[in-house]
Amino acid sequence: MIRLIFILLISIYTFQLWGQTKGEWIVQYFNVSNSFHEKSNNEYQLLSSSLSIYLVNDSETLSKSEASELFSEHGKIKHLFRNQEVYPRTYIPDDELYFEQWNMDVINAPNVWEETTGGRSETGEEIVMAVLDDGYDINHIELRNNLWINPNELPGDGIDNDGNGYIDDHQGVNIEDKNDIHPESDHGTQVVGIMAAQGDNNTGIAGMNWNTKVLFVSGVSNVGEIITGYEYVYDLKKRYLESDGTDGANIVVTNLSSGLEFAFPSQLPSWCEIYDLLGSVGVLSVCATANLDVNIEIEGDMPTLCTSDYLIMVTNTDTFDEKVQYAAQNKTHVDLGAPGELITTLDIKNEYSRISGTSASTPHVAGAVALFFTIPCQSLTDLIKINPTAAALTIKNAILNGTAPNVTLDETV
């Protein structure tokens, strides 16, 4: 049964299909040689080395069969599909600014904050949330203290100090421009404000986590960039685990308020596979479903229809704890609802604004996941250390099992 999140402890930039990116294919191989990996260039751009996924420029506008024949010279093809452009699903209300954070009361956040406000695990490990969006105001007064800094990368020296394939990714990464200069975007700032605005500082609002670090991944506007962003997150967490915390980042959750309406996993299979990859290093992924009153199982929506155990799909509820009419729902593929109407949050230039849509719902749940990792619970702490993959699933199940039944979320649209 689909339920509404109502208390945190037990318990976008979202996008619509805009059109195919002209002249670009995404190809995933079963395996390719190391020499081919090393030779990736402007024609074959490596998106995910872990899954052997490439972005291929196609100046001749090939058919799929022609592209398959041409690209197969480098290895046996697993998946082949055109890259897709995406754009925000969120709608912008034209009402007067609404400053009350009703959403936090609905999910009983104040009760949770009595136990934890985020930041570090019981053993003192820094918790990191990753957010993928188009851009952010990382200098906002309520975000700048919660910015994750890569300690193994020296800023501005033009060198890939930590050897992760990115030069000067000192304060996150801009996937499109391949640096850490993030374009200012109101949407990304609004989304991350719900997750991580500094709390209890006599300024503005309080996020779900008051002092938890955020890894900013910007420049995400198509499927290829989403895959690349997730691969970046995976690599950082993998490095953290393999180095016993001396390298990488202790990322526990990703927030992606993005997707493609009227699309199916069969069209974009590599996208779905990346969630299992993230889960293998103990990272849960939280994503927003469509802002459409449709049966997504019939009409299609990505990544809602992905079936990874490590994925949580979120729909939108209003001030009455009811699903809003325009938000998608499905008993099988949408996991829960969270507040998403007229949510007061951050905006660029140290301002504040409101956001509505599943984009706003999703960071509530991503923030809840991060809070779980800071709960003083010895058995959970031990599980996180011994088996981060199992710990991630335990936290997901706790969130889903701890939500309140809601009849407006019970039926598939």
Per residue in 144-160, pLDDT (tens digit) is 999 999 999 898 889 99
| pLDDT at residue 412 is higher than 70 | no
Task: Give me the pLDDT at residue 411, please.
Answer: 64
Structural domain ending residue among the three candidates 56, 84, 112: 84
- Name the average pLDDT for the chain: 87
Q: Are residues 104 and 25 in the same domain?
A: no
Is 133:218 a contact under the CB 8 Å cutoff? Answer: yes
Domain with 193 in it: what CATH number? 3.40.50.200
Distance of alpha carbon 401 from alpha carbon 96, whole angstroms = 37
* Domain of 159, in residue numbers: 3-16+87-409
Domain with 56 in it: what CATH number? 3.30.70
Q: Are residues 42 and 137 in the same domain?
A: no
Q: Are residues 282 and 377 in the same domain?
A: yes
Distance of alpha carbon 17 from alpha carbon 78, whole angstroms = 24
Structural domain ending residue among the three candidates 39, 69, 84: 84
Q: Are residues 8 and 63 in the same domain?
A: no
How many domains are there within the chain?
2
| pLDDT at residue 374 is higher than 50 | yes
Q: Where are the alpha helices (DSSP H) in 280-407?
A: 296-299, 358-372, 378-386, 388-401
Q: Are residues 159 and 261 in the same domain?
A: yes
Q: Are residues 56 and 106 in the same domain?
A: no
- First-to-final CA distance of the chain: 14
| pLDDT at residue 174 is higher than 70 | yes
Q: Are residues 78 and 203 in the same domain?
A: no
* Burial profile 55-80: b = 16 or more Cβ within 10 angstroms, e = fewer: bbebeeebeeeebeeebeebbebbbb
Q: Where are the alpha helices (DSSP H) in 197-331?
A: 223-242, 269-279, 296-299
Q: Are residues 405 and 339 in the same domain?
A: yes
Q: Are residues 140 and 215 in the same domain?
A: yes
Task: Give me the pLDDT at residue 191, please.
Answer: 98
Look at 16-25, 55-64, 223-232, 244-253 and tell me which has the smallest mean pLDDT. Answer: 16-25
Task: Give me the pLDDT at residue 404, please.
Answer: 79
Asked whether the bond before 93 is cis by omega within 30 degrees of 0, the reply is no
C-alpha distance from residue 325 to each of 108, 239, 294 (Å) = 24, 43, 10
Helix count and strand count (H, E) for the chain: 11, 17
pLDDT 10s digits, 91-116: 333 323 335 788 988 888 888 888 88
Distance of alpha carbon 231 from alpha carbon 130, whole angstroms = 12
Q: Are residues 351 and 203 in the same domain?
A: yes
Q: Are residues 44 and 170 in the same domain?
A: no
Q: Are residues 80 and 187 in the same domain?
A: no
* 12 band by pLDDT with thresholds 50, 70 and 90: very low
